[in-house]
A = this chain, B = another copy of it.
Amino acid sequence: MASQQKNVGILAMEIYFPPTCVQQEALEAHDGVSKGKYTIGLGQDCLAFCTEVEDVISMSLTAVTSLLEKYGIDPKQIGRLEVGSETVIDKSKSIKTFLMQIFEETGNTDIEGVDSTNACYGGTAALLNCVNWVESSSWDGRYGLVVCTDSAVYAEGPARPTGGAAAIAMLIGPDAPIAFESKIRGSHMSHVYDFYKPNLASEYPVVDGKLSQTCYLMAVDSCYNRLCNKYEKFEGKQFSVDDADYFVFHSPYNKLVQKSFARLLFNDFLRNASSINEAAKEKLAPFSTLTGDESYQSRDLEKATQQVAKALYDAKVQPTTLVPKQVGNMYTASLYAAFASLIHKKHSSLVGQRIVMFSYGSGLTATMFSFRVRECQHPFSLSNIAAVMNVDKKLKSRHEFPPEKFVETMKVMEHRYGAKDFVTSKDCSLLAPGTYYLTEVDSMYRRFYAKKASAIACENGSLTNGH
């Protein structure tokens, strides 16, 4: 019997989102909806989107090369690479194989892992797989690399403002600053049609918004109760929201995150946990006899729990919301973009703290799990991770498109989805140096990318196609 590695988790992170975005307030005016429908109703500020020179492959190429470069990781040190995505460009060839271009250049083709698929949960599946690999007898001492990359786009209508786009790369290994507490975990998986993509020729999903919200909240309940049970089994004491310092949620839109955290407190109330004081008990008492189904439909309960949760939400959740509110739903990257927001805001005070993560993918698959933050040396210190991700600068250097130009871009992308035999504008003027971009899809659907080398030169460093 071999002995397992300790404190396996995330050693380093990089985040990339397109520099092109549209303000939700401007979208409200453009769409002719009531003021506040997107900004307060959904709780969203801004939405990032890919123009015709970016896609999930270019974004992940950018995130991975940037991570390797900024943390000084030799591509030969990577022994596993896996991708979570629900943005299908090819139904057979994985995004991981596109990323192999980075590693083949150095002669490293001995890298396990493929793509994991189930809606927004694929990145979490990839992360859990990669951590298991490091703890397994198959581990060969090298780093793992997990990539979440998605472009969330919706047909014109009420779901469109819940779009977004991003790629996140995470380096995995032992003795990590962000270590898994592997025994504190609860999953809930079920067969539902809340959000799915059966129309293969279209990039847009079929969405039952109301059902999806209920499924999400049911999954929150189920996972939280399982996590509490496991904690109680291993620690011998009750778990409540008091036992974690931060809660990070998959964030399709911020309002759902607010509701979900409030739901945890309702669960604590039902379990008679210590986080609920007398005043809160009094407020929630009228709802103690609701059935599960009734509780998901009750607006009064929603209001009451959000009131009860307000102060705790501000302390334990609000610091996780910056990027999801500013970039939109990033599907598989969404949870980790929320986590990146927390590191950005609180990196200097996180050591020793417990962070509970909730990952949800429609269809459905959901897991709630826990990180414990540890002091680590450069380059794997939290302050360096925050510095590398540089969220503030990335957000501030974006280019706001007027809604008309956003709608126009969506139209172009509709035609480009699944198409062949075209060249893009190759206009990378809005992209930061080091960003990959799509130059061509040939008559055999083969995709070609180039890397923006500097603020001036545009078409250097093109990646050759597969052999």
Residues of A in contact with B (beta carbons under 8 Å apart): 1-4, 6, 8, 81, 86, 88-94, 96-98, 100-101, 103-104, 109-119, 121-122, 125, 128-129, 131-133, 135-138, 180, 182-183, 185-193, 195-201, 205-206, 222, 226, 361-365, 367, 417-418, 420, 444-446, 465-467
Q: CB-CB < 8 A to A89: which residues of B? A: 198
Q: In the complex, A451→B90 CA distance in Å?
A: 32
Of B110, B133, B196, B362, which one neighbours A188 at CB under 8 angstroms? B110
Q: In the complex, A136→B130 CA distance in Å?
A: 11
Q: Do A182 and B132 touch (CB < 8 A)?
A: no
Q: In the complex, A444→B361 CA distance in Å?
A: 19
Q: Do B137 and A4 touch (CB < 8 A)?
A: yes
**A450 to nearest B CB, angstroms?**
15
Q: In the complex, A372→B321 CA distance in Å?
A: 50
Q: CB-CB < 8 A to A186: which residues of B? A: 110
Q: CB-CB < 8 A to A136: which residues of B? A: 4, 131-132, 135-136, 182
Q: Is the interface of A mostly helix, strand, loop or mixed?
A: loop
Q: CB-CB < 8 A to A103: which residues of B? A: 189
Given contacts A109-B189, A136-B182, 6 further A-B contacts (CB under 8 A): A81-B189, A92-B362, A92-B363, A96-B365, A132-B133, A137-B183
**A84 to nearest B CB, angstroms?**
9
Q: In the complex, A86→B92 CA distance in Å?
A: 5
Q: Do A88 and B200 touch (CB < 8 A)?
A: yes
Q: In the complex, A132→B133 CA distance in Å?
A: 5
Q: Do A112 and B191 touch (CB < 8 A)?
A: no
A132-B136, A206-B444 known; A100 vs B190 contact (CB < 8 Å): yes
A98-B191, A115-B118 known; A182 vs B137 contact (CB < 8 Å): yes
